[in-house]
Amino acid sequence: MVQVTYKMTLEDKKHKQEELETLKAKRDLLYKQRAVAVSFGSDGENFSNNEVDCIDMEIQTLLQQISSLEQEINNAEIVKIGECDGIPTVDFGCCVVMAVEYKDGEKEEMRLIIQTSGSQKSEEYLTCTPNSPLFAEIAGKHIGDSGVMSCVANGCNIQYDYKILDITYPNLCNPQ
């Protein structure tokens, strides 16, 4: 079995651990609520306790979220935020502006922050995670570099040409 690693900063890992503790506390509360609901019984032989069923669904969702977070935390690869030390390079923590042209001729400009999801919110920049296929494609590129990005998701094949227009670092792109 291949072990997947999740790139994140120490701060990201701390936030994920806090989120995990919150989810575990909510799970424990739901277990208590379920025990109380079970004590009320059911409406008869062929009827279930709807409250127990609803709580069971919530618990199942939480258990999946907890498992996912535990996997990310346990397989975290701690990375440092990249710094501009001469020639700007696409790296974890930078902001990237790309010109994109799709195969149908449509063009757009993409503004990305390379970070783990949920790190910093910005209305101007989209989050591109360091574990994504797009980051794998553009990591290490410089201003003026170009290429072709291909990705298949849910049976949909997307392909576009891109060119790196600008690379800045958090103190310069000022994400909100």
Question: What would you report as the CA-atom Rg of the chain, rounded to the nearest whole angstrom?
Answer: 22
pLDDT of residue 42: 62
**What is the value of pTM for the model shown?**
0.60
How far is it, in rounded angstroms, from Cα 116 to Cα 121?
11
Helix axes 50-74, 10-39, angle to 10 degrees: 160
pLDDT of residue 23: 96
Are residue 18 and residue 70 in the same domain, yes or no?
Answer: yes
Residue 90 lies in a domain: no
**DSSP 8-class letter at 44:** B
**Which residues are CB-neighbours of 17 under 8 A, at least 6 positions away?**
73
Print the domain residue range for 19: 6-78
pLDDT of residue 46: 46
Question: Which of 45, 78, 111 is the C-terminal boundary of a domain?
Answer: 78
CATH number at residue 74: 1.10.287
Residue 89 lies in a domain: no
How far is it, in rounded angstroms, from Cα 5 to Cα 34?
35
pLDDT-flagged residues of the chain (< 70)? 1-2, 42-48, 81-85, 117-122, 170-176
Are residue 12 and residue 69 in the same domain, yes or no?
Answer: yes
Are residue 100 and residue 71 in the same domain, yes or no?
Answer: no
- Other beta carbons within 10 angstroms of residue 19's beta carbon come to 15
- The tally of domains found in the chain comes to 2
Q: What is the DSSP string of 56-102?
A: HHHHHHHHHHHHHHHHHHHTEEE-PPP--SSS-B--TT-EEEEEEEE
pLDDT of residue 176: 42
pLDDT of residue 53: 87
Are residue 134 and residue 169 in the same domain, yes or no?
Answer: yes
Are residue 100 and residue 137 in the same domain, yes or no?
Answer: yes
pLDDT of residue 40: 74
Are residue 108 and residue 145 in the same domain, yes or no?
Answer: yes
pLDDT of residue 48: 62
CATH number at residue 129: 3.10.50
How far is it, in rounded angstroms, from Cα 66 to Cα 64?
5
